[in-house]
A and B are shown apart, each in its own frame.
Chain A
């Protein structure tokens, strides 16, 4: 890889811009898409690889090219700087998620409690969520148990393309939550997207174990692991 290609690839990654690296396997010639003047069939392959977030090969003018997508990190937005969040933040960071914790209660939302590998927002959840604008590479988990904080975040998350929305609370708590959110105008289809009770059923007891169950469910949904994700 030439210094120029490396610098441009790293610049795109630092700016969280999706970019595909194309390598001609016969001689190591490389192109970036977007960025370089990439022949149309290879540009299409690059777009497809970025959309699928999976590398692939493409044939062009008798040579095989390796098409390697580099998407920005998946994001996890955690509403509630609670005990479970303290366990969830470092685990999510360890599997490569960029984590943001939202909690307007400044006594909870501190770097001392959450560490320095997380972005912290002390805005109200509706404003914070609107600013974060969850996309198809974002998971959202609400953990506060407090309708004043969880509900506004869920309203934004459920109307966004977020790939995962989970909410902590017992079945009874969740039934009440569904009633409130329906009252607020969310559709049945939107409400059905909430994973609750949150996390895979692994009999989790401690905060760290609950964090494992949540993160396992996020991964299962992301990877399309079918029943495991329900």
Chain B
């Protein structure tokens, strides 16, 4: 990946799709509190396990990537809600205490 593609995850995802990969795109659509990444931040995931971008500081990317695999199989988009209490946030790794919603869709 070229360094100037670090923020342009759509370009990365689109290039992967053009290579014949099945790709899902996750986008932060709402945040509250101390979420580290603003709305619009993206994570791209392929069925083969390639990952680019981020939707948090690294806390929930694993959970989002798992959900993305399901969306790639079914084609059905998902709205993931990581808006949970601070104590439970620790369990899914959102140690910052922020809350966010992530929209996951299959690309193309």
Residues of A within 8 A of B (CB): 1-3, 6, 9-10, 13, 23, 25-28, 54-57, 66, 68-70, 90, 93-96, 117
Contacts and interface: CB of A to CB of B under 8 A. Distances in A.
A10 B12 CA distance: 11
A66 B6 contact: no
Nearest to A94: B3
A10 B15 CA distance: 11
Query: Which of A68, A69, A70 has the largest count of B CB atoms less than 10 A from its CB?
Result: A68
Contact of B108 (A6, A90, A117): A6
Contact of B27 (A10, A66, A90): A66
Contact of A1 (B2, B4, B76, B106): B106
23 contacts: A1-B105, A1-B107, A3-B108, A6-B107, A13-B10, A25-B29, A25-B103, A26-B79, A27-B77, A28-B76, A28-B103, A28-B105, A54-B38, A55-B38, A57-B30, A66-B29, A68-B27, A90-B3, A94-B3, A94-B4, A94-B6, A95-B7, A96-B6
B103 to A, nearest CB: 6
A48 B9 CA distance: 23
A117 B27 CA distance: 28
Given A1-B25, A28-B77, A68-B27, A96 B108 contact: no
Given A25-B79, A96-B8, A54 B103 contact: no
A28 B10 CA distance: 17
Interface of B: 2-4, 6-8, 10-11, 14, 17, 25, 27, 29-30, 38-40, 76-77, 79, 101, 103, 105-108
B25 A56 contact: no
A1 B29 contact: no
Nearest to A27: B77
Nearest to B30: A57
A93 B4 contact: yes
A117 B39 contact: no
Contact of B103 (A13, A23, A94, A96): A23
A6 B108 CA distance: 6
B108 to A, nearest CB: 4
Contacts of B11: 13
Contacts of B108: 1-3, 6
A57 B105 contact: no
Nearest to A53: B40
